[in-house]
Chain A
């Protein structure tokens, strides 16, 4: 379990704290969404859980490991996928990039090769081992970034607005690969996003505003309340509004599902 307890953090150059007194919890096997507008502190929270930043006050404990005491172990336990695929990829060739993490922790070559194979299978990029990363599409690059984190075999996965830079068509495939990983390994997922439809995938949603926890609860309690939605600056996609309209008209649909899922729900019933 990830246990963030009363955490505050301020960047040295800022006068305002980036986070004040934030507590959240993530169980293995669940998806937790962290939503909020730009500058609300959601990326900072991700970096704190990963152990890239250390809290000024409060504690963060991941499966019994305190990020302050056991930093290296926490970093192995928690994987973090960043926004921009162009600035996470350090190697020229796909397989080298995916092997980068396992190589850094000194795994034996056979084990590294096994992990590279499995991670590439998980993101459906088998057969592209020898391709050049920089000539691939943004969506494919982000999948490489995901694979390179999965190859570390983390227990938890943090995704910091993972779809912000990729083409619209690549959004759901990426997220469904993450969900498959969760189902397969029983790992926990923290999805940082400002998109309503993505937050909808979570079992629990935390809303951040100006570094404070503004809302917490099930998607229904947080995402479906207009006032909260507006305060958190959530991007309500048109698909979502349509889903709501159809639901109101009595159709058996879940607002927030992608269009294809809406169509299927209508057609099958």
Chain B
């Protein structure tokens, strides 16, 4: 009787009661080829695709790169709905910026709409920037959707490890950020809870609360205290499991496997073709 459904909300943070929180770009577990790639391969791949996108000529190079994007997307088809949900609002933003750029960039006028004069150069620039940013957002989204935050973190550590040599604690910084990110949903829920609780005892906490020192304290102090407590407990829990005590391994570490080699080869091909068609054709 008192099973799954009822257990869900028996929880001091009130999950389920306040509705599920948005999960922006958060990791979705799965077994697609994209999931199975080494995090480092995906990190480097993402950087290369970003560089490719910036270098690609419109339309020739872009066609090549979007073909690659399609190929990557097809290897993790089940993620596409989640990806679409995150991209949709950004798409609107890209289009709006595109229109703005078209209008404010001086150049050969295309038409006269009321007092606005969209220009040919503006349109070209808008299309170029739009295609670039979409590809970049799409690629990085796929990275974060298929790679657990801690694996991204360890990939970054590996890539930026040289900073440790100049005594910058890059490992700790990256791990903290990654762990912080896993707690975003909990933090959002907690914030909602504090707002409701303070309203429940008569506070306003509308937009004007931002100007009211007391109201801000009512919001921030309970949140801060809860998170300090949590931070301390988390640190203990990690220390208990010997975090940071030596070299780490990974359950899914496959080193650079055959799949990684294949991915690298595909990426290299597309990059060469992109550069060829963009600069020499």
| Complex: chain A residue closest to B4, CB-CB | A137
Query: Are B10 and A100 within 8 A (Cβ)?
Result: no
The interface stretch among B57-65, B77-85, B178-186, B198-206 is B178-186
Query: Are B240 and A75 within 8 A (Cβ)?
Result: yes
A86 at the interface (CB under 8 A from B): yes
A91 at the interface (CB under 8 A from B): yes
Query: Are A108 and B249 within 8 A (Cβ)?
Result: yes
B66 at the interface (CB under 8 A from A): no
Query: Are B252 and A138 within 8 A (Cβ)?
Result: no
Please classify how large the interface on chain B is, using the bins under 10, 10 to 19, 20 to 34, 35 or more: 35 or more
Proximity bits, B222-243, A CB within 8 Å = 1, else 0: 0000000110011011111111
Compute how far the CA of A203 lies from the CA of B243 in the bound complex, rounded to whole angstroms. Answer: 33
A29 at the interface (CB under 8 A from B): no
A109-B12 contact in complex given A72-B242, A82-B237, A92-B27, C-beta closer than 8 Å: no
Q: Tell me how far the C-beta of A124 lies from the nearest C-beta in chain B, rounded to whole angstroms.
A: 14
Q: Tell me how far the C-beta of B84 lies from the nearest C-beta in chain A, rounded to whole angstroms.
A: 20
Query: Are B149 and A134 within 8 A (Cβ)?
Result: no
Proximity bits, B244-277, A CB within 8 Å = 1, else 0: 1111111111100000000000000000000000
Compute how far the CA of A99 lies from the CA of B151 in the bound complex, rounded to whole angstroms. Answer: 12
Partner of B233, one of A72, A84, A116, A149: A84
Interface of B is mostly: loop
Residues of B contacting A113 in the complex (Cβ-Cβ under 8 angstroms)? 251
Q: Tell me how far the C-beta of A140 lies from the nearest C-beta in chain B, rounded to whole angstroms.
A: 7
A105-B237 contact in complex given A112-B249, A112-B251, A138-B7, C-beta closer than 8 Å: no
Partner of B238, one of A90, A95, A152, A170: A90
Residues of A contacting B109 in the complex (Cβ-Cβ under 8 angstroms)? none
A239 at the interface (CB under 8 A from B): no
Compute how far the CA of A147 lies from the CA of B33 in the bound complex, rounded to whole angstroms. Answer: 28
| Complex: chain A residue closest to B27, CB-CB | A92
Compute how far the CA of A113 lies from the CA of B251 in the bound complex, rounded to whole angstroms. Answer: 6
B26 at the interface (CB under 8 A from A): yes
Compute how far the CA of A237 lies from the CA of B149 in the bound complex, rounded to whole angstroms. Answer: 43
Query: Are B248 and A106 within 8 A (Cβ)?
Result: yes
| Complex: chain B residue closest to A113, CB-CB | B251
Q: Tell me how far the C-beta of A122 lies from the nearest C-beta in chain B, rounded to whole angstroms.
A: 16
Query: Are A139 and B7 within 8 A (Cβ)?
Result: yes
Query: Are A92 and B241 within 8 A (Cβ)?
Result: no
Q: Which residues of B contact A (CB under 8 A)?
A: 2, 4, 7-8, 10-13, 15, 20, 26-27, 29-30, 148-150, 179, 182, 185-186, 229-230, 233-234, 236-254
The 10 closest A-B pairs by CB, nearest first: A137-B7, A101-B241, A130-B29, A87-B233, A88-B237, A99-B251, A112-B251, A87-B230, A167-B10, A104-B242
